[in-house]
Amino acid sequence: MRAVVQRVSSSSVDIEGKTAAEIRKGLLVLAGFHESDSGADIEYIINKILGLRIFEDAEGRMNLSVSDVRGEVLLISQFTLYGDARKGNRPSYGEAMQFEKAEKFYNDFIEGFRIKYPLVRQGIFGADMKVALVNDGPVTILLDSNKTF
């Protein structure tokens, strides 16, 4: 499982011209699922996201987590995180989880996240989404449950 985590002062997702979800200060998380992912991958990524100390403390040091600052989290599914463009110019998505399985996995990810941290909003799986954000910092962190980076 992969995630792109961005510290934001605000973020929203629009679907068919309507705002489906929006947050203020917090994290925008783009999540992609590998064909071999399991519940352990969900658990690892959720714990890593919630533990990231990327918010500033009183001294201006990145020393606080999203829960420390009571920030919100916006979760968006993004299969293109498993796009492989090493050969040619057209990415291959062969390692991305298949649609039906990925939809269930995404829902499990959201539910698992909500159990640990209730201030969660989400996009709609498989929808054509327009995601807007104001990246605060900017701060962007890449996570991979297989620890390839």
Would you please indicate which residues are annotated as catalytic (active-site) residues?
78-80
What CATH code would you report for 2-144?
3.50.80.10
The domain spans of the chain are 2-144
Q: Binning pLDDT at 50, 70 and 90, where does residue 148 land?
A: confident
| Separation CA 149–CA 134 (nearest Å) | 25
**For residue 103, pLDDT beyond 90:** yes
| Averaged confidence pLDDT in the chain | 97
The reported pLDDT for the residue numbered 139 is 98
Question: pLDDT tens digit string along 112-135?
Answer: 999 999 999 999 999 999 999 999
Residues 6+ apart with CB under 8 A from 49: 3, 5, 27, 29, 66, 73, 113, 143
- Whether 33 and 63 have beta carbons less than 8 Å apart is answered as no
Question: pLDDT tens digit string along 11-58?
Answer: 999 999 999 999 999 999 999 999 999 999 999 999 999 999 999 999
The predicted model scores a pTM of: 0.96
| Separation CA 13–CA 21 (nearest Å) | 6
